[in-house]
Amino acid sequence: MPGDGRFLKACRRQPVDTTPVWIMRQAGRYLPQYRATRSRAGDFLTLCKTPDLACEVTLQPVQILKVDAAILFSDILIPVEAMGADLVFTEGEGPKLSSVRTRQEAGRLHVPDPRLETGFVMDAVKLIRRELDPMVPLIGFSGAPFTLASYLVEGGGSKSFRHTLAWMYGDPEGFTALLDMLAETVIAYCSAQVEAGVQALQLFDTWAGVLSRRLYREFALPSTRKVVQALKHLGVPIILYVNGSAPFLEETAASGVDVLSVDWRLSLAESWERTRGAVALQGNLDPMVLYGGPAVIEREAGRVLAEAPLQGHIFNLGHGILPDTPVEAAQHLVEAVHRLGRKEI
Ligand code: CP3
């Protein structure tokens, strides 16, 4: 099968020649080539909505870093905009959305048809699949329901998530109805990406780490599970990323996904033990290591590899690469992982 190289094998916990590696946010501002394409687009959302430019930036890190997988260039908020929320990205400030804090406001949103209302995403996937080396798999993605709900309720990013938590505590049924609607949206959106040609899916539940174990179990887990159960039959590996999942790692593993993408707070050895080897692991280098220079990158990458399972490990950062990271550091990391991760098979 084209593209069925070491990344897809590791997702299925099969033997590989060396550890596969890709980097969250690998297409981004730390790359001068990305900044050049974005300035041609004019702004970030136009870049996301113009398939040939989205294709161009998706391919850049594959060529520049030699990573083992490409990830579709888009944003987790694209389907949320299609649901009916107004979305703007202001330079240096991150996303801003029209906020949804009541059942009545949620009632004005709809579950979008991904092919009609986010057709540019599916067109980008088809184009990328044509342009990308057939040996390199393409990862599609979506935000998970809880993280998408947090952006909708807060009207953007947040430190405290006070409006989201207030709604969860005050009106659990109403908040669950919003999660259900988001789960439907995510299922349709991811299914359309697979139909268009992605070979793996990553669900970003970036902010679920603000929840207690009890609240994770009660709200985020059931909505993630619903999504995973509905996507399983498509046959592509599903990866779940939660930043700060250590307090409820067992629950994230019980979501039914094939791979857990974990941050740097817990060692891979401990994560493997706590999940009893039931899922593959992706991660978990602290993105700050990339500021330490070649010797530090080499040492810390070696440490992650030493703690990783022999089968079922995809090397990645514990969160996205930061915009001022030196490109050479990312290149060095990929080269070091391929060299140090070599297996005797
Ligand atoms: O990984 C990739 O290379 C694929 C593309 C991708 C982007 N965003 C591009 C992007 C992916 C997978 C995402 C996911 C995403 N978007 C998440 C989950 C992952 C994570 O990092 O936690 C979240 C929370 C978002 C929401 C979002 N989008 C924020 C908070 C921001 C602003 C952050 C910032 O650094 O300014 C964005 C914008 C964004 N998404 C950029 C990129 C390359 C920067 C936009 C630019 O200025 O060019």
Mean pLDDT by 10 residues, the chain (345 residues): 81 97 98 98 97 98 98 98 97 92 97 98 98 97 98 97 98 98 98 98 98 98 98 98 98 98 98 97 98 98 97 98 98 98 84
Atom 13 of ligand 1, residue of closest alpha carbon: 75
Instruction: For ligand 1, say whether the CB of 244 is within 6 Å of any of its atoms.
Output: no
pTM of the complete model: 0.97
Is residue 128 one of the residues assigned to a domain? yes
Of 17, 25, 225, 291, catalytic: 25
Is residue 345 one of the residues assigned to a domain? no
Instruction: For ligand 1, say whether the CB of 150 is within 6 Å of any of its atoms.
Output: no
Of 6, 13, 34, 38, catalytic: 38
Is residue 148 one of the residues assigned to a domain? yes
CA nearest neighbour of 8 among 233, 229, 205, 238: 238
Is residue 181 one of the residues assigned to a domain? yes
Is residue 71 one of the residues assigned to a domain? yes
Instruction: Name 276's Cβ contacts closer than 8 Å, sequence gap at least 6.
Output: none
pLDDT of 92:
82
Is residue 331 one of the residues assigned to a domain? yes
Q: Edge to edge, what strands does the sheet with 138-143 contain? A: 70-71, 138-143, 200-204, 238-241, 259-261, 280-285, 313-317
Question: SS3 letters for the chain?
Answer: CCCCCHHHHHHCCCCCCCCCECCCCCCCCCCHHHHHHHHHHCCHHHHHHCHHHHHHHHHHHHHHHCCCCEECCCCCCHHHHHCCCCEEEECCCEEEECCCCCHHHHCCCCCCCHHHHCHHHHHHHHHHHHHCCCCCCEEEEEECHHHHHHHHHHCECCCCCHHHHHHHHHCHHHHHHHHHHHHHHHHHHHHHHHHHCCCEEEEECHHHHHCCHHHHHHHHHHHHHHHHHHHHHHCCCEEEECCCCHHHHHHHHCCCCCEEECCCCCCHHHHHHHCCCCCEEEEEECHHHHHCCHHHHHHHHHHHHHHCCCCCEEEEECCCCCCCCCHHHHHHHHHHHHHHCCCCC
CA nearest neighbour of 97 among 109, 105, 107, 85: 85
**Closest atom of ligand 1 to CA, residue 204:** 18
Instruction: For ligand 1, say whether the CB of 22 is within 6 Å of any of its atoms.
Output: no
291 tagged catalytic: no
* CA 300/CA 285 separation, integer angstroms: 7
pLDDT of 4:
66
CATH number at residue 40: 3.20.20.210
38 tagged catalytic: yes
Instruction: For ligand 1, say whether the CB of 261 is within 6 Å of any of its atoms.
Output: no
Is residue 232 one of the residues assigned to a domain? yes
C-alpha distances in angstroms, 59 versus 47, 76, 94, 178, 276? Answer: 14, 19, 24, 35, 36
Atom 38 of ligand 1, residue of closest alpha carbon: 94
pLDDT of 345:
60
**Closest atom of ligand 1 to CA, residue 26:** 3
Is residue 1 one of the residues assigned to a domain? no
pLDDT of 206:
97
Compute the Cα dihedral for 183, 152, 193, 220 and give only its sign.
negative
133 tagged catalytic: no
* CA 306/CA 297 separation, integer angstroms: 14
pLDDT of 58:
98
Count up the domains in the chain and report the number.
Answer: 1
Domain extent, residue 107, equals 6-340
